[in-house]
Amino acid sequence: MRTYILRRLVQVIPILLLVPFLTFFLIDLAPGNILDAWKLNPQIPTEVIEQMTVQYGLDQPWYARYFSWLKGAVLHLDMGYSVSNKRPVAPVIGERLFNTFILALLATCIEWFVAIPLGILSATRQYSWVDKICSAIAFLGLSIPAVFLSLLALLFAKETGWFPIGGLRSLEYDTFTAGQKVLDILHHLFLPAAVLAASGLASYMRQMRGNLLDELRADYLITARAKGLSEPVVIGKHAVRNALNPLITLFGFSLSGLLSGSVLVETVMSYPGLGRTVVEALFAQDEYLVVASLLMGTVLLIAGNLIADILLALSDPRIRLQ
């Protein structure tokens, strides 16, 4: 497995080089740059704008800026300077990446710990009222757009006052104890995480139901029952374990779905995450911040696929990573 992991890490190097390359190219196709808004301000001297144009390499072609950025990133771990935030890109990305990570982690936990039991319950109670309720939940989760669901969640939070609207912390956060700080963050996280997990939860539940129904008709379960094994052991130890394999394979793709979905959820619900940072940087044409944000998203996607492969090998002894 160690050889497999090393080979996968070597294979991702061209991807990590290509993503910033294409990002610089596509941003350059858009008219203007981040200093255009400054040029409209009469209080900013022309000499200052010209100096900043040279300082940030905006007077050079896009490929020259790419190689200059790549040199700084590889040799000095310098991701560039964010003009819109007036500080280096690395700390901005670090803060927002952590916020998106904990949001995606909570959404993943909601997806798996709710969808899998509901999928098992729906399959073992096929065509019952429980199955119909689970099917209705899946239908709603798959059919309601994330933007509309985010707006409904904001309306629900406003009308009930049960959840905060936007942000990650309360104003009194610094005065809280350690336990109160954790609860405060979870309180702010729950609503956007639930919205982000809605479509994935519905998809996993339907997938788990279909996989388990196929497994329940398999010959090896008939043999297990004939040997005298109880029904909970037959379903829990044998059927569910095999039905989970396709879901583990989808784990890496679900991570990319959470990252792409977080752009909408974070923007609509005013959550300070990486997805919202990308949108703000794109509108501001903050080139280096856009490049670094997309690169971090790519790294998370690659890491998710690798983790999914490893988990699949650990869960199914028939699969070996060479």
User: How does DSSP classify residue 81?
Assistant: E
Burial of 322 (0-12, 13-18, 19+ CB in 10 A): exposed
Q: How would DSSP label each residue in 35-56?
A: THHHHT-TTS-HHHHHHHHHHT
pLDDT at 322 over 60: no
Which run of H or of E encompasses 20? helix 13-29
Contacts of residue 14, defined as CB under 8 A and 6 or more positions apart, other chains included, come to: none
Average pLDDT of every residue of the chain = 81
DSSP states of 237-285:
IIIHHHHHHHHHHTHHHHHHHHHHHHHHHHHHTT--SHHHHHHHHHHHT
Report H helices in 77-227.
89-124, 129-143, 146-160, 178-216, 219-226
Out of 13-27, 122-136, 217-231, 292-306, the most confident range is: 13-27
The model's pLDDT over 78-96, given as tens digits with 9 standing for 90+, comes to: 888 887 778 888 888 888 8
Ordered domains of the chain (ranges, CATH)? 2-89 (no CATH), 94-315 (1.10.3720.10)
What is the pLDDT, as a whole number, of residue 257? 63
What pLDDT does 89 receive?
87
Q: What is the pLDDT of residues 233-264, one digit of tens each?
A: 778 777 887 787 777 767 666 666 666 667 77
Tell me what the mean pLDDT of segment 115-124 comes to.
Answer: 86
Q: What is the mean pLDDT of residues 53-63?
A: 81
Q: Residue 22 — φ and ψ, nearest 5°?
A: -70, -35
**Side chain identity, residue 177:** T
For residue range 272-285, list pLDDT tens digits in order: 888 788 888 888 88
pLDDT at 317: 60
Give residue 21's pLDDT.
92
The pLDDT of 40-65, averaged and rounded, is 80
Q: Are 253 and 94 in contact (CB under 8 A)?
A: no
Q: Euclidean distance between the first and final Cα of the chain, in Å?
A: 6
Q: Is 88 helix (H, G, I), strand (E, B) or coil?
A: strand
- Taking the model in full, what pTM does it have? 0.75
Predicted confidence (pLDDT) at residue 27 exceeds the cutoff of 70? yes
